[in-house]
């Protein structure tokens, strides 16, 4: 297990019971509102939220249509919270770098503020490509910081805090890894610290 995985499990297990009132819960709230707006789902579709936290986003998405909803997270306590709160959604403790789904079996994959926690984000992109149907949608929400703040967070703050955060993404790099991973970018939303890219699997 990588140091980011170990640190994330420790941190989010501790935050799980009161997540919405923590800094992370409040910081991610605006991302989730925007992703909910951008995420188009139809009856019968299969939708996965990777790094789903306490499950509030995938639950909200599941209210938009009669979908088969899935949430995975590396933190067992987060998944306990999901299961206690929401019925009818399939939650599982899993690493987002190895998605427990068959090839071309999902219509939508969402990842909100969790990509920069992964040891190998490119592995997640490859997995999202593998499990999505052709034309399926990937939505990635990630924090964006001006370069000085980004460098401070990536190289000083995150290692000091042992928070499970790997490197954050510049806008250019986020778009490049998505395109290079076999996706066609269809929408880009960027406002303040929020960057959200919607892409179709080629
Ligand atoms: C900042 S929180 C975001 C949670 C949720 N997506 C939200 O927006 O509220 C990051 C989440 O990613 C999860 N996580 C970290 N590393 C992971 C990994 N390798 N695989 C799956 N989930 C992971 C954490 O446990 C945590 O719940």
Domain that holds residue 67: 3-201
CA dist 174 and 176 (Å) reads 5
Gap between the Cα atoms of 99 and 121, Å rounded: 13
**Does ligand 1 lie within 6 Å of residue 95's CB atom?**
yes
Q: Which letter, b or e, does each residue of 69-92 get, where b requires 16 or more Cβ atoms within 10 Å of its Cβ?
A: bbbbbbbebbbbbbeeebeebebe
Residue 117 Cβ inside 6 Å of ligand 1? The answer reads yes
Q: Minimal CA–CA distance to 117: which of 169, 80, 179?
A: 169
Per-residue pLDDT tens digits for 72-97: 999 999 999 999 999 999 999 999 99
Minimal-distance CA residue to ligand 1 atom 27: 53
Please give the DSSP secondary-structure letter assigned to residue 44: T
Q: Using pLDDT thresholds of 50, 70 and 90, give the confidence band for residue 150.
A: very high
Q: How far apart are CA 162 and CA 64, in angstroms?
A: 37
Q: What is the overall mean pLDDT for the chain?
A: 97
For residues 82 and 78, give the distance between their C-alpha atoms in angstroms, rounded to a whole number: 6
pLDDT number for residue 134: 97
Helix 121-131 / helix 171-180 crossing angle, nearest 10 deg: 40
How many domains, in total, are found in the chain?
Answer: 1
What separation in Å is there between the alpha carbon of 115 and the centre of ligand 1?
Answer: 8
**Ligand 1 centroid, distance to 78 Cα (angstroms):** 9
Question: What pLDDT is recorded for position 135?
Answer: 97
Identify the bridge partners of residue 108 per DSSP, sorted by sequence position.
47, 137
Mutate which of 5, 8, 93 for ligand 1 pocket (most atoms within 8 A of beta carbon): 8
- pLDDT recorded at residue 194: 97
Q: Looking at residue 133, what is its pLDDT?
A: 98
Q: Please indicate whether residue 142, judged by its CB atom, sits closer than 6 Å to ligand 1.
A: no
Residue 202 has a pLDDT of 97
Place of tokens 């206690």: 84
Please tell me the predicted confidence (pLDDT) of residue 131: 98
Task: Indicate which residue's Cα is closest to atom 17 of ligand 1.
Answer: 74
Of 50, 80, 78, nearest to 141 by C-alpha is 50
Residue 185 buriedness (CB in 10 A; 0-12 / 13-18 / 19+) = middle
| 31-80 residue pLDDT tens | 999 999 999 999 999 999 999 999 999 999 999 999 999 999 999 999 99
Could you tell me the CATH number of the domain that includes residue 10? 3.40.50.150
Ligand 1 pocket, residue 143 CB under 6 Å: no
- Residues 6+ away with beta carbon under 8 Å from 7: 162, 163, 164
Cβ of 51 closer than 6 Å to ligand 1, yes or no, is: yes
Q: Which of the four pLDDT bands, split at 50, 70 and 90, describes residue 3? A: very high
Q: How does pLDDT run across 186-202, given as a tens digit for each residue?
A: 999 999 999 999 999 99
Tokens for 27, please give them: 């910081």
Q: What proportion of the chain, given as a percentage, has pLDDT over 70?
A: 100
Decide: 75 in ligand 1 pocket, CB within 6 A.
Answer: yes
Per-residue pLDDT, averaged over 146-175, amounts to 96
Instruction: Please check whether residue 106 is in contact with residue 47, taking contact to mean a CB–CB distance below 8 angstroms.
Output: yes
Q: Ligand 1 mean position to 53 CA, how many Å?
A: 5
The pLDDT, as a whole number, for residue 167 is: 96
pLDDT score at 193? 96
Helix (H, G, I), strand (E, B) or coil at 84: helix
């Amino acid at each position: 297990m990588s140091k980011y995985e170990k640190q994330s499990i420790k941190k989010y297990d501790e935050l799980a019971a009161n997540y919405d009132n923590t800094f992370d819960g409040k910081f991610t709230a605006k991302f989730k509102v925007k992703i909910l707006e951008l995420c188009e789902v139809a009856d019968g579709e299969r939708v996965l939220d990777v790094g789903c936290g306490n499950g509030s986003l995938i639950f909200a998405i599941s209210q938009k249509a009669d979908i088969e909803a899935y949430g995975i997270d590396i933190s067992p306590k987060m998944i306990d919270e999901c299961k206690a709160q929401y019925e009818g959604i399939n939650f599982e403790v899993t690493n987002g770098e190895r998605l427990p789904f068959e090839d071309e079996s999902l219509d939508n994959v969402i990842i909100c503020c969790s990509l920069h926690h992964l040891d190998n984000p490119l592995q997640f992109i490859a997995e999202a490509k593998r499990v999505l149907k052709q034309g399926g949608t990937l939505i990635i929400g990630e924090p964006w910081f001006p370069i000085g703040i980004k460098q401070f967070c990536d190289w000083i703050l995150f290692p000091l805090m042992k928070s499970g955060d790997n490197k954050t993404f510049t806008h250019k790099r986020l778009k490049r890894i998505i395109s290079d991973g076999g996706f066609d970018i269809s929408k880009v939303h960027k406002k303040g610290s929020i960057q959200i890219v919607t892409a179709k699997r080629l």
